[in-house]
Structure 1
Amino acid sequence: MAKAAFQALVAEQKILNRIYPIRGQKVMLDRDLAEMYGVATKVFNQSVKRNLDRFPKDFMFTLTTKEFDNLRSQFVTSSWGGTRYLPMAFTEQGVAMLSSILNSKTAIEVNIRIIRVFTRLREYALTHKDILLQLAQLEKELKGNKRDIDNIFTVLKELIEQQQTAKPRNKIGFKSYHEGKE
């Protein structure tokens, strides 16, 4: 059982590594999806192009040259090779729609894994959104109190300086007879 759980975790990590933020969305590229489905990118793209009516712009879009260059520059070693066409990027909904055009058993299993990873990412983002909002509120409150905090530190510095430069004072009070004879 532990081996199966480990394999599932590795598969999920491979999927996570292939999700990119582009145009404010989390997407996967055609070449990565084709590799995961076990088909050539050309075959994958032909299937998508035969069913373009299933992929509106919020499901799938083609990267611009600038987006592609930015994405390619993120990788130290280039495994992109010489591509003739700009890659297609699929959102979570686009990946879900792929299951309707790719019917192999592998495609179905991979699709289920990908959708689960996208769902976990969304849940993670929602959970951490609350924390980010609280941090923003705290930062706002701290900025409002900055002057007060600066004043406190100024007074503390003055007190420390006064204490360091203060002359020793004579003791006040009753002196015992033996106190002065030592």
Structure 2
Amino acid sequence: MKNNITTLLAVESFINEHEREIRGHTILPDSDIANLYEISIEEIHKTLKKNPRRFPPDFAFLLNDDEKEKLFLTGNKIFAFTQPGILMLGGQLKSKRAIRTQIQLIELFVDSMPGKVFEILSEMQNQNE
């Protein structure tokens, strides 16, 4: 778990250094996420296109020209990801860094709530019935 914490702290540090505010959300632009997960921006865009239902507007959105200018970003299509969007994207990617980070986040979540995961799943099941 110590290595997991170290890697997660490195990811958290990266996010804290690169996060920006737009539309009332704390976001990372797709170029920073590409660096974080060691993938191409094109791979991010393909993932969004293949899985649109996984990325509602409060997870990821396309920046308009004014927003790109305000954030000092250049490019045609620049997507902004909120924290839930960053996590969802990481679960869809195949890079070693993304997979390792997702596994560590899941382990950290489960470790922080011993015995609660099954309770939560049971409650969700009951709500859906």
Shorter-chain TM range is 0.5 to 0.7
1:107 paired to 2:98: yes
AA aligned opposite 1:12: E
Cα distance in 2, alignment partners of residues 87 and 50 from structure 1: 17
SS of match in other structure, 1:95: helix
Matched with 1:90 is 81
- Measured against aligned partners, the alpha-carbon deviations of 1:71-94 in whole angstroms (never above 9, x if no partner) come to 10xxxxxxx5x62x2310111111
Change (3 A) 1:104 1:53: same
Cα distance in 2, alignment partners of residues 112 and 43 from structure 1: 20
Matched with 1:38 is 38
Aligned length: 103
1:129-140 map, 5 Å: none
SS of match in other structure, 2:91: coil
AA aligned opposite 1:54: R
Cα distance in 1, alignment partners of residues 103 and 29 from structure 2: 17
AA aligned opposite 1:52: P
RMSD (Å) for aligned C-alpha atoms: 2.8
Cα distance in 2, alignment partners of residues 15 and 114 from structure 1: 14
Cα distance in 2, alignment partners of residues 59 and 51 from structure 1: 12
Q: CA deviation at 1:108?
A: 2.7
Unaligned runs of 5+ in 1: 73-79, 116-182
Cα distance in 1, alignment partners of residues 103 and 61 from structure 2: 22
TM-score by length of 2: 0.65
Unaligned runs of 5+ in 2: 107-129
Change (3 A) 1:27 1:18: same
TM-score by length of 1: 0.48
Percent of pairs identical after alignment? Answer: 33
Name which one, 1 or 2, has greater alpha-carbon Rg: 1
Contact residue 58 and residue 91 of structure 1 kept, 8 A: yes
Cα distance in 1, alignment partners of residues 10 and 70 from structure 2: 27
SS of match in other structure, 2:15: helix
Change (3 A) 1:112 1:64: farther
